[in-house]
Structure formats: structure tokens, C-alpha cells
Amino acid sequence: MSLIKKLLVICLMGNGVVAYAQSTPNILLILTDDQGYHDVSYYGTEDIQTPNIDAITASGMRFDNFYANCPVCSPTRAALLTGRYQDHVGVPGVIRTYPNNNWGYLDPQAILLPRKLKEAGYHTAIVGKWHLGLESPNIPNDRGFDYFHGWLGDMMDDYWAHRRHDLNYMRHNNEVIDPKGHATDLFTQWSVDYIKNQAKDSKPFFLYLAYNAPHFPVQPPADWLERVKKREPNITDKRASLVAFIEHLDDGIGRVIQALKESGQYDNTLIIFSSDNGGHLPSEANNGPLRDGKQSMYEGGLKVPTSIGWTGKIKPGTVSTQINLSMDLYPTLLEVAGVKANEPIESRSFLSTLLGGPPPVENRAMYFTRREGGADYGGLSSYALRLGDWKLIQNKPYQPLELYNMKEDPKEQTNVIEENPDVYKKLNALLMEHIQRGGQVPWQKPIPNK
């Protein structure tokens, strides 16, 4: 029996049989798209108001060193749902509509989080953005989700029209649909409907709510934009649009959580909020003091706002500086549900941290990879490797490697690779081993994990 999963005695029946109620929690995983590290008001950002995200944070634990596995969408989502590095499951880059600009194909043999949670009796659902495949066998209902209501593709070209390259990727399970309304409002309402429906079911549920917002094009409803401009008279038009977009998103999150409360499920629901990568600087995202933003292997592209709440389990108002990755959610949630990952994974659980226990003693290497096309990448990959206080980075394939001491230089201002040749050699050797494992071909002798 796991640390969490247990049975509570409710009553003795007249025939002497004991009746039990399972305390395994519901899981609500909220993933936003391109939300900057400081584009939340809980960090004191003065021009934005995110009361509902702040409430998740106040109710539980804030993570100040939480990293997306990649500075772009698909790879982080692949890592989160498999517990593995994205390049080990076939998604080193963004999955797109056209083959000549597509840089991933999710391994059909990879075991996804919803399939494992079903072993623990969960009903599993995804509402919103999938972005891990456009056709079978890599659509949500093929990969362990009982229910899908959302968007198969990557970005939307318009949040009201719901098209990408004039193609409609909106689905209700396997059915093509063409709903009316702003995508954020649709995903919110579909989640509310799902939560209320699940209140009638004895099974716990796993709801993966993956909003497209605030990914560009930045399209807030007009009344939200007007509100921000009135409140913030000195704000730029571009920043006002992004702030309004995020505040509209935050309102949707609040409606979803309110549905949990109204249906009596809030106290037994673990709620996670995170983003798939750093904020998009051309949209005037706020990544705080971090260097750079989305698409970059510097901290602004990788570090994301993250909070987890769980009534009665996680102490409210706590803060963790532990370094975790998106993929670490996989084993953490499996441990919550009382199931084990029988297949090899590179991630590790941080449930002990959530419950106020000691953090794991570790000095693990953490790898970040991204493959991309275009003149800057040419179908090659960029990399970063974090080991202790050291970070090795090649931000673009044609740029030289850089080395930073993150304890002394958290803003990554001074490249110290020439002054630390031994550190560079050690980290570069680890990175090469990781690249070999990710690029392994059938006739290559397997490289054992260390």
C-alpha cells in the first residue's frame, strides 16, 4: 500500500460486512501554454492579477525551481505524460502538421500517465491541447484517455475560429466538432461539465486540463482587455493584451475549481498548476529576473511557475526550492495513486517533499533537448545539462557551448567554460551519453542508464 492510498472504514453493515470508501484523490493537472515565470501575481508582479492561480499557491506548495523539460511545447508534454526524457520517446521537437517541419513522433510503445492511472481505477480525461499526434495510434483515446474534448494540434491561428493551416483539429473523442466561442472559455466549460458529471461516479478521476492560452496569437476577449487598460494606464498595448489573456485564463481556472467545490470534490482533489515552457518575449511575457524566454535553453525558457494544492495533505503557504522537472510529475502522481512504473523511466517522485518530508538527497544530471528546423537549427538540436550548481548549454546548434555556475550567477551572465575545463569535460561527457541514448538505432549496442 502506498504512502497515500488507504481505505477508511465508514460503517459496519447489518450483515457484519465492513463497507469502505477509497481515499485515493482526484487529480486535476492544469497546464498553460507559454506562461512566463513571473506572469502570476503571487510573485508580486504589479501589472497582472491572477487570484485563482494565487489561491492554488496559497492552499499548498509553491515551487520556485520547477523546470519544463523543454523550452517548447510537444517535448515537454511528452516528458510529462511518460516520465521520460522527450528524446527517449521520440519527441525531441515540436510535432506539426506538415512532415517537412515536424520534429517528433511519439513512440507507440511508450506508457502514458493515464494508462497507468487506469490501473488504479481512475477515469481519465484530457480537455484542451494534446499536441502529441494528429492521427492514430497517437491520439488521446488511443493512449489511455477515456475521454477527450479539445484540440489535437499545436497552436491555434485564431482562438475563435479554431483552425490551424485552415484545418480543424477540434475533437470530442474521435468526432470532428466545430464549436463556437473563445477556446479558453470552451475548455473551461468542458472541464466544468466533466467535473460535475464525475461527481456521480465512484471512481476517482484524472483530468488533464491543457489550455492553449497564453500562446500567441494573443487574443483576449475585448472586455478583459478594456479592463486591464483602464486599470493599468501606463501599460503598453502588447503587454495589456497578454495580461488580459492571462487574467481571462485565470478566471477560467477559478470556474473549474469552483465546480470542484460545488460538486463536493474539492477536498479530495490534488490540483497542479504549471506551464509547458517559459514566456514568449515578443508577446512581452514576464520571466522575472531570468535570462531569455520561450525557445531558449537559458533559464527564461525553462523555468516555469508551478504550484500544487491538496487539502489536508500539503501544508498551505509552503515554498520549495527543490529542483524538479515536468516529467517528475509522472512518478509523483503514480505514487499518489498507489501504482508503480514497471517500465524504465528517468524521472523520480517528489511526493515526500509535498507532504513535508525530507527532500531526496541527490545530485542527478538533468538534460534539456530541443530539435528544430529553419536556418538557426537546420534540423539539429540544442541542449542544456544541469548538474548541481553547474549548467552546460548550447543554445543553438551552431553556437559554442557555454558553462555557468548557477549558484554564483543565476542570471547566466558570465560564461566560465574556459576557466573550468574539468567541469566542462565531465558535463560534456554526460551530455554525449544522453545524446547517444536518445539517438539510438536498432543496430547500436544499448548504452546502459547510470
Residue 360 has a pLDDT of 76
Return the CATH number of the domain spanning residue range 366-438. 3.30.1120.10
**What is each CA distance from 267 to 19, 307, 329, in whole angstroms?**
21, 17, 20
Active site residue 73: yes
Count the neighbouring beta carbons within 10 Å of the beta carbon of residue 259. Answer: 21
Residue 81 has a pLDDT of 98
CA 266 to CA 378: how far, in whole Å? 48
- At the fourth CATH level, which superfamily is domain 26-354? Alkaline Phosphatase, subunit A (3.40.720.10)
Active-site choice (38, 88, 123, 131): 131
Q: What is the DSSP string of 68-111?
A: -SSSSHHHHHHHHHHSS-GGGTT-SB---SSGGG------TTPP
Output the tens digit of pLDDT for each of the chain's 450 residues. Answer: 333 433 332 332 333 322 223 479 999 999 999 999 999 999 999 999 999 999 999 999 999 999 999 999 999 999 999 999 999 999 999 999 999 999 999 999 999 999 999 999 999 999 999 999 999 999 999 999 999 999 999 999 999 999 999 999 999 999 999 999 999 999 999 999 999 999 999 999 999 999 999 999 999 999 999 999 999 999 999 999 999 999 999 999 999 999 999 999 999 999 999 999 999 999 999 999 999 999 999 999 999 999 999 999 999 999 999 999 999 999 999 999 999 999 899 999 999 999 999 887 788 999 999 999 999 999 999 999 999 999 999 999 999 999 999 999 999 999 999 999 999 999 999 999 999 998 876 665 666 766
Q: What are phi and psi of 118, to 5 degrees?
A: -65, -30
Residues in the chain: 450
For residue 439, give the 3-state DSSP assignment. coil
Active site residue 11: no
Residue 439 has a pLDDT of 84
**pTM exceeding the 0.75 threshold for the entire prediction:** yes
Residue 2 has a pLDDT of 35
Is beta strand 269-275 parallel, antiparallel or unpaired with respect to 306-309?
A: antiparallel
Tell which residue, 4, 375, 370, has the closest CA to residue 204.
4
Q: What's the CA angle centered on 145, arms 143 and 150, to 5 degrees?
A: 105
Active-site choice (38, 73, 215, 434): 73
Give the residue extent of every domain in the chain.
26-354, 366-438
Residue 358 has a pLDDT of 86
Q: Report which DSSP code applies to 132.
A: S
Residue 359 has a pLDDT of 80
